[in-house]
């Protein structure tokens, strides 16, 4: 009897839920059509004749209006599975209701756009040509602002380098994969960190890169035909789901996408590139030798995959751009969230397991205030009213303001590594101290790194790895029971301190392998023992003398490693401790170093490495913390 009542009731609930969703979708479209001219599947011509699929939503007015432009490799078709999608409509409704035209376009070779796709939608002239086309339309006032997060943001920097007269302002968010080389960061669009490949692109390209064989429409298809076809065919591939927690283990790495029957494409070429390969400098990545011509409001986050390069680029543009108007109009917001999660802060924002308090901020109002000033000339929204840098300090759980990054009153202060009997695991006696132990005789902590049994990624500053890694801050104590993790912990703090800025690491290391990796993780230890990760980094030893050369290690020799900087803003409260973990793997965030000194990407077997971290007067291994005084 209970079953017979329950099933019809469930069906009735699902039917009503579906009906309400359809009603809400139709309502959004109705609202949009009341105020907007909707012009979909406009095939915008590029200089080489290739046409890019573009949807345009503009206010019903005879007066020209400014444009908010998003270009993306992702699907924005309004229809899917026979039903209306509303995400694009919601964004368009917000923009149009505020007096903007909203233009969204697929990168070359994606979905309805013609041509062959490459990461960031090569060639870079596509962005320039799109701006020219829009600026020439009678409904455009000649001013365009670009907006987007992640892959919808990453093309904006190379476009800003072209300094198109219509490109008046931009808001790039979570934009690290568009940054090639900036300062000491040599990541080539998040492909590398410290010379070690980041595995996020394997799972991302599995779902994004085009297969060699894919359906396309005839070049002479009319706009009307494409609109009609889009209700039946949105060209969105639906590949089988992959258990990446298992798939990432496949060796050799060059065959990983092939091993899950994924599309054969640009990955097989990219995985063979070394950090200084000329191909990285021929595409759409922005490098710090390039010009930059656009006022920008940058959005970053503490648990994103590329926070360090993001902040370094902000500083580079401010300090190196010769145009004072451009240099002075760079603004930055750093939130305590995961990749592109700026609108998900709550009264109790939890990132992973750690609560960072009420981190809410009015994302949309900040973005549109920026555009109102630059695209409409609304002087009431002048950036002069904004802090140059607005950043969230975890631990204290407050928003703070600064005119620079790091804050001007920040001083770098070293903490030195030391141990007596060994720092292996949480149960060792590794310490971090403000004074150099000044041990004259060289001492070292030793661990064995087995690439077939790597230290697993647990939380962290990640994105796009499917079910393999859950990003954010997690209690690391269970991980710290491993003997191949060196753990160094400070005394209990009697006074709180704020660490805001770039954390520098210098390690003196040796190994019996020709090449190996060294990893580090910065941790806030609570009085009850909980150990929450803040940031992490890695360095492949063969690149210690520069990413343009490979210099292998010799057994018995000690080498100085400068690891890529970590970044955070965290208040270590009284009663807390500062901790770092050092190991040689962080998998599957980073590709495992097989320790052979070979190519690594085409190898299937690894060897053990006996790795050492040295500390003495001669070898003062240390981290430098940016302490806000």
- DSSP structural state of residue 574: T
302 neighbors 569 (Cβ within 8 angstroms)? yes
Work out the average pLDDT over 442-463: 97
Q: Quick check: 461 pLDDT over 50?
A: yes
pLDDT, averaged across the chain: 94
- DSSP structural state of residue 594: -
Q: Tell me the whole-structure pTM to 2 decimals.
A: 0.94
* Final residue before a domain boundary, out of 152, 169, 185: 152
Which candidate, 436, 445, 471, 433, places its Cα nearest to that of 583?
A: 445
CATH number, domain at 517?
Answer: 2.60.120.260
Which candidate, 54, 62, 65, 71, places its Cα nearest to that of 142?
A: 65
- pLDDT for position 215: 86
What are the tens digits of pLDDT across the range 64-78?
999 999 999 999 988
* Residue 346 maps to a domain: no
- For residue 82, what pLDDT band results from cuts at 50, 70 and 90? low
- For residue 8, what pLDDT band results from cuts at 50, 70 and 90? low
- pLDDT for position 214: 84
- DSSP structural state of residue 46: P
CA distance 417 to 420: 11
CA distance 132 to 147: 17
For the chain, how big is the Rg over CA atoms in Å?
Answer: 26
CA distance 355 to 345: 11
* Residue 463 maps to a domain: yes
CB neighbours of 314 closer than 8 A, spacing ≥ 6?
298, 300, 330, 332, 405
What are the tens digits of pLDDT across the range 292-342?
999 999 999 999 999 999 999 999 999 999 999 999 999 999 999 999 999
Burial category of 99 from C-beta neighbours within 10 Å (exposed 0-12, middle 13-18, buried 19 and up): middle
> Domain count of the chain?
2
Residue the block writes with tokens 């409001």: 297
Take residue 425 and report the two structure tokens written for it. 């695991």
CATH number, domain at 67?
Answer: 3.40.50.1820
Cα end-to-end distance, the chain, whole Å? 70
Report how far Cα 334 is from the mean position of its chain's Cα atoms: 13
* Residue 245 maps to a domain: no
The DSSP line for 511-558 is ESSSS-EEEEEEEEEPTTS-EEEEEEEEEEGGGTT-TT------TT--
Angle at alpha carbon of residue 53, lines to 50 and 54, rounded to 5°: 130
* Residue 82 maps to a domain: yes
- pLDDT for position 441: 83
Q: Quick check: 538 pLDDT over 50?
A: yes
CA distance 541 to 63: 60
* Final residue before a domain boundary, out of 123, 152, 181: 152
Count other C-beta atoms under 10 Å from residue 30's C-beta.
Answer: 9
- pLDDT for position 16: 47
* Residue 496 maps to a domain: yes
Phi-psi label, residue 315: left if phi above 0, alpha if psi -120 to 50, beta otherwise: alpha
* Residue 271 maps to a domain: no
- Residues of the chain with pLDDT > 90, as a percent, come to 87
CA distance 172 to 154: 7
What are the tens digits of pLDDT across the range 107-147?
999 999 999 999 888 888 999 999 999 999 999 999 999 99
67 neighbors 143 (Cβ within 8 angstroms)? yes
* Final residue before a domain boundary, out of 152, 171, 203: 152
- pLDDT for position 512: 98
Which candidate, 601, 480, 567, 457, places its Cα nearest to that of 529?
A: 480
What are the tens digits of pLDDT across the range 205-260?
999 998 888 888 898 899 999 999 998 888 888 889 999 999 999 999 999 999 99
Domain that holds residue 45: 1-152
Q: Quick check: 566 pLDDT over 50?
A: yes
Take residue 352 and report the two structure tokens written for it. 């992973």
Which candidate, 361, 253, 348, places its Cα nearest to that of 299?
A: 361
The DSSP line for 237-256 is --PPP--HHHHTT-SSGGGH
162 neighbors 172 (Cβ within 8 angstroms)? no
- For residue 9, what pLDDT band results from cuts at 50, 70 and 90? low
Q: Give the HSE-up count for residue 117: Cα atoms under 13 Å, Cβ half-sphere.
A: 25
Take residue 309 and report the two structure tokens written for it. 């390069």
What are the tens digits of pLDDT across the range 256-285?
999 999 998 899 999 999 999 999 999 999
- pLDDT for position 212: 81
Phi, psi of 105 (to 5 degrees): -140, 140
* Residue 324 maps to a domain: no
Strand-pairing partners, residue 567, are: 502
* Residue 263 maps to a domain: no
């Amino acid at each position: 009897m209970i079953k017979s009542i329950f099933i019809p009731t469930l069906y009735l609930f699902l039917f009503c839920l579906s009906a309400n969703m359809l009603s809400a979708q139709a309502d959004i479209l109705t609202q949009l059509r009341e105020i907007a001219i909707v012009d979909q599947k406009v095939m915008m011509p590029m200089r080489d004749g290739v046409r890019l699929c573009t949807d345009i939503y503009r206010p019903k007015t005879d007066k020209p209006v400014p444009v908010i432009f998003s270009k993306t490799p992702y699907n924005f078709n309004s229809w899917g599975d026979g039903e209306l999608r509303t995400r694009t409509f919601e964004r368009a409704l917000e923009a149009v209701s505020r007096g903007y035209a909203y233009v969204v376009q697929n990168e070359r070779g994606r979905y309805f756009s013609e041509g062959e796709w490459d990461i960031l939608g090569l060639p870079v002239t596509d962005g320039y040509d799109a701006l020219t086309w829009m600026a020439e339309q009678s409904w455009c006032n000649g001013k365009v602002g670009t907006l987007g997060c992640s892959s919808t943001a990453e093309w904006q920097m190379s476009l800003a380098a072209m300094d198109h007269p219509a490109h008046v302002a931009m808001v790039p968010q979570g934009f690290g994969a568009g940054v090639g080389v900036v300062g000491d960061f040599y990541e080539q669009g998040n492909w590398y960190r410290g010379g070690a490949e980041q595995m996020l692109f394997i799972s991302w390209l599995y779902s994004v890169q085009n297969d060699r064989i894919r359906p396309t429409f005839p070049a002479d298809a009319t706009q009307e035909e494409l609109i009609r076809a889009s209700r039946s065919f949105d060209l969105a591939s639906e590949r089988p789901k992959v258990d990446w927690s298992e798939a990432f283990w496949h060796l050799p790495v060059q065959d990983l996408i092939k091993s899950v029957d994924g599309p054969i494409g640009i990955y097989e070429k990219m995985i063979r590139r070394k950090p200084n390969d000329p191909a990285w400098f021929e595409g759409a990545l922005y490098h710090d030798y390039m010009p930059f011509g656009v006022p920008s409001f940058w959005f970053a986050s503490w648990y994103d995959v590329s926070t360090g390069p993001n902040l370094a680029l902000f500083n580079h543009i401010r300090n190196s751009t010769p145009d004072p108007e451009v240099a002075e109009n760079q603004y930055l917001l750093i939130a305590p969230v995961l990749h592109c999660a700026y609108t998900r802060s709550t009264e109790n924002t939890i990132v992973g397991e750690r609560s960072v308090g009420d981190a809410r901020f009015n994302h949309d109002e900040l973005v549109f205030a920026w555009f109102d000033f630059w695209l409409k000339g609304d002087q009431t929204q002048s950036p002069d009213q904004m802090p140059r840098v607005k950043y969230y300090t975890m631990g204290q759980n407050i928003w703070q303001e600064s005119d620079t990054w790091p804050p001007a009153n920040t001083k770098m202060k070293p903490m030195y590594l030391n141990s007596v009997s060994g720092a292996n695991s949480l149960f060792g006696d590794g310490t971090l101290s403000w004074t150099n132990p000044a041990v004259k005789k060289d001492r070292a902590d030793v661990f064995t790194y087995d690439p077939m049994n790597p230290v697993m990624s647990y939380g962290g500053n990640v994105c796009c790895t499917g079910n393999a890694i859950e990003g954010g801050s997690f209690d690391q104590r269970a991980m710290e029971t491993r003997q191949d993790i060196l753990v160094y912990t400070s005394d209990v703090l009697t006074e709180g301190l704020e660490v805001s800025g770039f954390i520098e690491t210098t390690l003196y290391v040796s190994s019996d392998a020709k090449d190996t990796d060294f990893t580090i993780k910065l941790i806030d230890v609570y009085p009850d023992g909980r150990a929450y990760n803040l940031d992490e980094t890695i360095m492949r030893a063969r690149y210690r003398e520069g990413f343009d050369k490979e210099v292998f290690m010799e057994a018995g020799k000690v080498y100085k490693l400068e690891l890529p900087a970590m970044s955070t803003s965290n208040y270590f409260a009284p009663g807390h401790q500062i901790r770092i973990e050092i190991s040689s793997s962080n998998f599957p965030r980073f590709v495992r170093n097989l320790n052979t000194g070979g190519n690594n990407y085409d190898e299937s077997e690894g060897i053990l490495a006996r790795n050492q971290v040295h500390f003495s007067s001669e070898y003062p291994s240390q981290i430098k913390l940016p302490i806000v005084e």
